Amino acid sequence: INEKMLEEILNQYPAKVKRNRKKHIIIRDPEQARQEIEANTRTIPGIITNRGCAYAGCKGVVLGPLKDMVHITHGPIGCGYYSWLTRRNKAKSEDPTNNFLSYCVSTDMQESDIVFGGEKKLAKAIDEVMEIFKPKAISVSATCPVGLIGDDLNAVVRAAQERHGIKIMAFNCEGYKGVSQSAGHHIANNILMEQVIGSGDLEEAPGKYPINILGEYNIGGDSWEVERILKDIGYTVLAVMTGDGSYEELKNAHVAELNLVQCHRSINYIAEMLEVKYGTPWLKVNFIGVQATIDSLRNMALYFGDAELISRTEEVIAREVARIEPIMEQYKRICQGKTAFCFVGGSRGHHYQGLFGELGIETVLAGYEFAHRDDYEGREVIPDIKLDADTKNIPELHVEPDERRFRLKVSPERMEELKKKIPLSYYKGMNVEMKEGHIIVDDLNHYETEEFIKILKPDIFASGIKDKYVVQKMGIPAKQIHSYDYSGPYAGFNGAIKFAEDVAMGFVSPTWNFITPPWK
């Protein structure tokens, strides 16, 4: 696609819309030092976007996976219903009476509650939850109407907390609070940091190489595979935020020596705050793809700098690679030479490109639904990002070094040395890894999806539930990268072969021969 073809696509829009959308699309040109993209701004009304809302980002994404809490949705039933495990964030517990993940708890607001207020109903719902489940902690998430009618969530929650003597947290994550689910991530990060992380009494980690995994939500079992590898090498995984995670673990996350960040978009706020408050650096990792997993493991070993850990890391890598390589090769023969579109949320649009590449599939168009400019252009652009009214809507939580617990885990000199070799407190973003001429689109919509497909005719479309059926009807296999279509895990070594199998299966299915795409 060249600029002229892009113009033609955009010419279908009214002039104002065209000007807007143009800033969200880049044709990659590695000659340019930086290609600016507009991101994290409002979707134009009337355009069909794949984005979700602030409530989805808060309750659905960050809080939802915490299994030992009951998560109450204060609102009409639809909001709770659609966030009822459809994301496939899996969890298991030693103690099944302490895992509430399979329940969907909502105040089920009716018209009369909208007119007369829903506070009493919410208080009663909390009492009922205490009576039935007796959890150690409860979250209450607000939906759009709650904010519109002015229910005082915080007052109800404060009173309930006194009544019941357990941790109950209010999340003012009304859907409209931001331009996408990204706002909800930030709201959840702030409150977990303020009220949960560090509230445990541990002063020292209970094992060797203690780490937290941030921004890993155990979709399709991803974090189980990552933890399998890390434990095999000898790491102590204290808390996963928040895949198969728990309130109890989160409380003591402050004792880690290193925080890994898988999804930068959803959890960079906590990662940064942990560094300021406790002196714990964070390392950007990516456990999607064989090479990305290997690089992440090596970077971790380098951080700890322990000879024994480094050699154990190499042992595990060698063993795993020898085991999966022949299987990957087999699927590569089916996939080699094909092309993909990879359009997902706020991190996977980038993370899956390496894994596609390992199968011989080139990603010719990629993008995020709701990521910010730093996820495209790298964290160095953060000072240049204009803060608009929508962004300012979410308060920045200010943290200070913890007087008692702050401890630099690495000396400033060693930190500088390490930063030259590994991505500590840094994310380079997606753009640098895209090749010349390939397309980067922010907040891709259905019209543009169809137009780009007609021109580029990708062999596979990696995206989500909202667009997959349109794409399949165009005769193109679609792979959901959000929920993995009932499959997974896709992370780590075992995940790579599972993904390869699923993608190859998509290609060899005879179904596509029975569909005539619109351009034929």
Which positions touch ligand ICS (CB under 6 A)? 57, 61, 87, 181, 215, 217, 219, 263, 265-266, 344-348, 482
Active site residue 185: yes
Residue with smallest beta-carbon separation from ligand ICS: 345
Strands 236-242 and 25-27: unpaired
d(CA 111, CA 113): 5
Q: Name the active-site residue from 87, 264, 372, 482.
A: 87
Active site residue 87: yes
Instruction: Report in angstroms how near the CB of residue 122 gets to ligand ICS at its nearest.
Output: 26
CA distances for 514 relative to 284, 450, 476, 485, angstroms: 44, 20, 11, 22
Q: Closer CB to ligand ICS, residue 145 or residue 220? A: 220
Cα distance between the two ends of the chain: 20
Q: Closer CB to ligand ICS, residue 266 or residue 280? A: 266
Q: Closer CB to ligand ICS, residue 217 or residue 376? A: 217
Q: Name the active-site residue from 21, 51, 53, 265.
A: 53
Instruction: Report in angstroms how near the CB of residue 346 gets to ligand ICS at its nearest.
Output: 3
d(CA 499, CA 356): 9
Q: Closer CB to ligand ICS, residue 91 or residue 316? A: 91
Cα pseudo-dihedral 349, 355, 361, 365, rounded to 10 = 10
Check: CB of residue 51 under 8 Å from CB of residue 482. Answer: no
Q: Closer CB to ligand ICS, residue 197 or residue 255? A: 197
Structure tokens at 287: 């456990």
Q: Name the active-site residue from 51, 185, 254, 350.
A: 185
Q: Name the active-site residue from 54, 56, 58, 371.
A: 56
d(CA 120, CA 136): 22
Instruction: Report in angstroms how near the CB of residue 51 gets to ligand ICS at its nearest.
Output: 9
d(CA 405, CA 201): 11
Q: Cα angle at 346 between 439 and 409, to 5 degrees?
A: 120
Q: Closer CB to ligand ICS, residue 215 or residue 506? A: 215
What is the CA 123 to chain-centroid distance, rounded?
Answer: 32
Percent of the chain as helix, strand, coil, to the nearest 5:
50, 15, 40
Cis peptide before 391 (omega within 30 of 0): no
Active site residue 56: yes
Q: Closer CB to ligand ICS, residue 58 or residue 324? A: 58
- Match 């990708």 to its residue by tokens: 458
d(CA 80, CA 108): 8
Instruction: Report in angstroms how near the CB of residue 373 gets to ligand ICS at its nearest.
Output: 15
3-state secondary structure of 248: helix
Instruction: Report in angstroms how near the CB of residue 222 gets to ligand ICS at its nearest.
Output: 8
Q: Rg for the chain (alpha carbons), in Å?
A: 23
Catalytic residues: 53, 56, 87, 185
